[in-house]
Amino acid sequence: EVQLVQSGAEVKKPGESLKISCKGSGYSFTSYWIGWVRQMPGKGLEWMGIIYPGDSDTRYSPSFQGQVTISADKSISTAYLQWSSLKASDTAMYYCARHVFPHYYYYGMDVWGQGTTVTVSS
Amino acid sequence: QSALTQPASVSGSPGQSITISCTGTSSDVGSYNLVSWYQQHPGKAPKLMIYEGSKRPSGVSNRFSGSKSGNTASLTISGLQAEDEADYYCCSYAGSSGIFGGGTKLTVL
């Protein structure tokens, strides 16, 4: 079964760092782009960025460039989303998702993780 | 980079058809036929309903269809059913970055 399993909920303070994970299984992890999507409480989906685990090629939305870091460790089939200094406005649900076709990312995301809730509060 | 424009809400009765629009620009929706559509029920992860403009993933009902005209993509749901009540999002690409629509809440009356 193709699936993405994300790390558990996090509660952090402003200024702290955080790295959440997304582990793929059941398919060739290195061949499919993985995307990260933010959903703030009661709001819509926001495209954050993507990574190709095969060579760690990464693209960011202009809105998130410099605010987060996307990385991957292909040896353990895991993608990451990282913050160096969290803000209260980072409070949201974060989803990872696999793209439909190997090697390409324009077509859509067909396999989604269960989501990771991040709460940032003093 | 502004979100693609979707109506905030649409509604329909069981058995009817509804269409949700997704308006962008010539730099995103209008550039290629690459719009995807997602369904999201409360508290759940999004689910891909349409990819590459008009293609359905395996397991998605043929009641769902996608199309595009100019800078506007559309999702049509025919034979509305109670379980179709959810939020729907479109997604397109501008250069190497993706962009979602603001989302549409579908109510089945």
Q: What would the two tokens of residue B5 be?
A: 């424009």
* Interface check A63 vs B, CB under 8 A: yes
Q: How big, in percent rounded to 5, are the helix, strand and coil portions of chain B? A: 5, 50, 50
Cβ separation of A108 and B52 shorter than 8 Å?
yes
Q: pLDDT tens digits, chain B, 109 residues: what are they?
A: 678 999 999 999 999 999 999 999 988 999 888 999 999 999 999 999 999 999 999 999 999 999 999 999 999 999 999 999 999 999 998 888 999 999 999 999 9
Structure confidence by residue, pLDDT tens digits, A99-119: 999 888 889 999 999 999 999
pLDDT of residue B33: 85
Instruction: State the Cα–Cα distance between residues B28 and A5, nearest whole angstrom.
Output: 31
Which pLDDT score, from 0 to 100, does residue A53 have?
96
The beta-carbon neighbor of A47 closest among B48, B50, B91 is B91
Q: Do residue B45 and residue A59 have CB atoms under 8 angstroms apart?
A: no
Task: Band the pLDDT of A31: cuts 50, 70, 90.
Answer: very high
Q: Tell how far CA B54 is from the center of its chain.
A: 10
d(Cα B37, Cα A37) in Å, to the nearest integer? 14
> CB B47 to CB A112 under 8 A?
yes
Cα–Cα distance for residue pair A40/A90, rounded to 1 Å: 8
pLDDT in tens, A36-95: 999 999 999 999 999 999 999 999 999 999 999 999 999 999 999 999 999 999 999 999
How far apart CA A22 and CA A96 sit, in angstroms, is 6
